[in-house]
Amino acid sequence: MSSETRTLDNVKEVILSAHMNLSPAEKVEFYNTWSENYDKDVSVLDYRAPLLAADLVSAHFPGERGAALVLDVACGTGLVAAEMKRHGFGRLVGLDGSKGMLQLAKNTGLYEDVRQCMLGEDQLPVTWGSFDVVLIVGALSDGQVPACIAKELCKATKPGGLVCMTTRSNRDNVLYKACLEQQLKLMEEEGLWSCVTATEVEEWERAVSVDEEGYIGGCVYIYRVSDVKPCSPML
C-alpha cells in the first residue's frame, strides 16, 4: 500500500481521468492501478454511498440477515461489504472487472466468493434468482456501467428480494441518471419489480468537476422483485 498522503486535488485528477472515453480494457487497467490508493481516495472524497446504500437496505430488508445471500456488483475493494456486515449480513459474493480490486476485496475476508466480470459486456456469472439482496453502488454513472444492467440485477434476485442501486445527481451525470430512471420505470411497468424507495441525498461526496464546489448529490434506489416474474423477451 502506498504511503503517499492523498489530497483532494490528487483525487480529482484520478476521478476525472476515470470519466474519460476509455476502452473497456483501459478502464480495467485504470482500476487495477487505482486499487492501491482507492480506499484512501474515497475517504478524502468523503464518499458516503456504501454507508447510505447499506443503511437503506437494512431498513427495508424483512428477512434473516445472517442467512441472506448478498451479491455485491462492482464490489471494488469491499466498502459495501463492510457496511453490510455492520448490519448483520454475512454471506456476500463480490463481482468486479478489476483483478486488483478483487484481490483487495478477497483479502478483507468479508466475501464467500469473488468473481471477475466485465460489467455491461459479460453476463453476470451467477445463478439467476439466487440472491436475497443485490447491490451495485458507485458504478452506475456516465462512462461506467450501462443502465441496462438493471435487467440482470433483477434476474439475479430471488422473488421478493431487494435490488439496491445508486447514482450521482450532479450536472455531469444528468443524462445518465435520466436514462437509468427510465429503465427502472419501464421494468416496473412490465411487472418485474416495484419501487420501495428512491432517496435523494444532498451530500453524497465532495465535488471533483471544475465547475462544481462543495458536495454533490446522489440517489439510492431500492426495488423489490416481483414474486412472479412475467414472461418477457428481455429475460
Beta-strand pair 91-96/69-73? parallel
Q: Which three cell numbers stand for residue 74?
A: 462492482
Query: For residue 211, what pLDDT is reported?
Result: 84
Average pLDDT over residues 169-178: 95
- Tell me the pTM: 0.93
**Tens digit of each residue's pLDDT (9 = 90 or more) over 95-117:** 999 999 999 999 999 999 999 99
Q: How far apart, in whole angstroms, are the C-alpha atoms of residue 185 and residue 115?
A: 29
Q: Which residues contact 81 (CB under 8 A, 6 or more apart)?
A: 72, 75, 92, 94, 105, 108, 110, 111
Would you say residue 74 has pLDDT above 60?
A: yes
**Side chain identity at 224, as an amino acid letter?**
R
Residue 3 has pLDDT above 60, yes or no: no
Q: Which of residues 2 and 81 earns the better pLDDT score?
A: 81
Angle of helix 24-34 relative to helix 8-18, nearest 10 degrees? 160
* Mean pLDDT along residues 28-56: 95
CA distance 55 to 133: 13
Cell 455491461: give the residue. 120
Distance separating the N- and C-terminal Cα atoms of the chain: 42
The C-alpha atoms of residue 30 and residue 169 are separated, in whole angstroms, by 24
For the CA atoms of 129, 122, 39, 197, the dihedral, rounded to the nearest 10 degrees, stands at: -40
pLDDT, residue 27, reads: 87
More confident position, 7 or 3: 7
Q: Which of 95, 177, 172, 100 is nearest to 140 (CA)?
A: 177
pLDDT at 26: 87
Of 207, 112, 190, give the one whose Cα is nearest residue 150.
Answer: 190
Q: Is the pLDDT of residue 233 over 80?
A: no
Look at the block and give the residue holding cell 475493494: 77
The pLDDT assigned to 229 comes to: 55
Torsion of CA 215, 85, 152, 48, to 10 degrees: 0
- What is the rounded distance in angstroms from the CA atom of residue 153 to the CA atom of residue 90? 20
